[in-house]
Amino acid sequence: MSNVDVYAEALWQTIKKGESPKKAALALKMTLERHGRSMLLSRIPRALARIAAREERRDGVVLSLAREKDAASAHKEIAETLLKMGAKKEDIKTVIDSDLIGGWRLEGRGELIDRSHKKQLLSIYENVIHS
Q: At what angle do helices 3-16 and 44-59 cross, to 10 degrees?
A: 60
Alpha-carbon span 129 to 21, nearest angstrom: 56
Residue 56 pLDDT class (50, 70, 90 cuts):
confident
124 with 64, same domain: the answer is: yes
Residue 20 has pLDDT above 90, yes or no: yes
Q: What angle do CA 17, 21, 24 make, to 5 degrees?
A: 75
pTM of the entire predicted model:
0.55
19 with 80, same domain: the answer is: no
CA dihedral of 112, 117, 121, 127, whole degrees rounded to 10: 50
Q: Residues 106-121: pLDDT tens digits? A: 888 878 888 888 778 8
Q: Residues 71-100: pLDDT tens digits? A: 888 888 888 888 888 887 887 889 999 888
User: Pairing between strand 61-65 and 103-108?
Assistant: antiparallel
Domain of 26 in residue numbering reads as: 3-57
123 with 77, same domain: the answer is: yes
Secondary structure letter of residue 114 according to DSSP: E
Q: What is the mean pLDDT of residues 57-82?
A: 85
